[in-house]
Structure 1
Amino acid sequence: MEKGDALNDSAERLTLVLQDNYSGSNSEETLIIKDSKSLKKFFIQVNKTRKPGLPVPEVDFTKEMVLIHCSGEQPLGRQITLAVADENEHELIVWSLIEKKKGKTSSSVIVSPFRVYKMPLTAKKITFQKEH
């Protein structure tokens, strides 16, 4: 599958719900969340330094699951986006793609961005790969 095809096709599977520059995570990690307790736990951690806190997205965990990608510490303007690259009957391969904002070259401001995605519930193994 070509990268362009994967990105177009993944729009149906991965829906961006929320993004913000401060996850509180120093290192890159991707969380697969299949229950409301785990989702609330993530938002409790994120909201420790916020007033008001970010609302927890509403998710029907009988039909959907959540992927949260924390990029770790990054220069402001650099984002990591998730996209479904390929799928077979046993596995779903998700790419993390580096997305640079136009007009920003480099910044001395360091942030720890995260993105929250919803997708249809699956029992397939989810494998994460960095963009080639």
Structure 2
Amino acid sequence: MYKNLIFLALILSIQLNACKSSVTSSLLNSNEMGIQNILNENYSGFEEEEYFLIRNQEALNTFYGKINRTRKPGLVPPVVDFSQNMLLVWCGDSKTSNYIDLEINEYADSLVVHKLKSKTEKQNNLIVSPFSIFQLRLSSKSLKIQ
């Protein structure tokens, strides 16, 4: 009886650890400025490249309403503490086939976003408009794209 109980506890422990590793592997590491990529997806529905700075739950729900127009079931918005964090959303145009890497530099009056070159350039015939969502520290500074 005691052996069966230990065996059951061991199986449950392994199962719980396996679930945790799949969740954390989808998140990317953050850089020095505290930026963290929390989502990459292949279709945003936007025709032109755009950047959005989201500072509240209402704006996040509005953005997800736009990208979920053609998704059944739709994507679920991430849980974000907007009292300490904000989101930077990049939407690629219909000619973009890769996700983006960003670098953010903080200056006295603004946050400057630099788009980094992708190391892997894929050539495909699919029409996608990828988007990425990055979480960073809350700031009242303006956003400049370079």
On whether the aligned pair clears a TM of 0.5, the verdict is yes
Structure 1 residue 51: Cα displacement: 1.5
Q: Where does 1:51-62 land on structure 2 (aligned, <5 Å)?
A: 51-62=72-83
Q: Where does 1:2-41 land on structure 2 (aligned, <5 Å)?
A: 10-41=31-62
Hey, what's the Cα distance between the residues in 2 that align with 1:12 and 1:59? Answer: 18
Whether 1:97 aligns to 2:97 is no
Whether 1:87 aligns to 2:106 is yes
CA contact (8 A) 2:99 2:132 kept: no
CA contact (8 A) 1:80 1:97 kept: yes
Higher relative contact order (CA 8 A, sep 6+): 1
Stretch deviating more after TM superposition (21-30 or 66-75): 66-75
Higher strand share: 1
DSSP 3-state at the match of 2:68: helix
Hey, what's the Cα distance between the residues in 2 that align with 1:56 and 1:50? Answer: 13
Corresponding pairs, count: 118
Identity %: 35
CA contact (8 A) 2:92 2:130 kept: yes
CA contact (8 A) 1:43 1:54 kept: yes
Hey, what's the Cα distance between the residues in 2 that align with 1:9 and 1:91? Answer: 20
Q: Residue deviations 1:15-69, cap 9 Å, x none?
A: 1111101000000000011110010011011111112211101111111111000
Task: Normalising by structure 2, report the TM-score.
Answer: 0.73
Whether 1:116 aligns to 2:128 is no
Hey, what's the Cα distance between the residues in 2 that align with 1:116 and 1:9? Answer: 12
Hey, what's the Cα distance between the residues in 2 that align with 1:54 and 1:9? Answer: 23
Q: Residue deviations 1:61-100, cap 9 Å, x none?
A: 1111110000111253x2222211x222212111112325
CA contact (8 A) 1:19 1:115 kept: yes
> Following superposition, which runs of at least 4 residues in structure 1 exceed 4 angstroms of deviation?
none
CA contact (8 A) 1:25 1:72 kept: yes
Structure 1 pair 27–90 and aligned structure 2 pair: CA distance change class (3 A): same
Stretch deviating more after TM superposition (23-32 or 44-53): 44-53
Structure 1 residues not aligned, in runs of 5+: 1-7
Hey, what's the Cα distance between the residues in 2 that align with 1:39 and 1:101? Answer: 30
Hey, what's the Cα distance between the residues in 2 that align with 1:90 and 1:38? Answer: 23
Task: Normalising by structure 1, report the TM-score.
Answer: 0.80
Higher helix share: 2
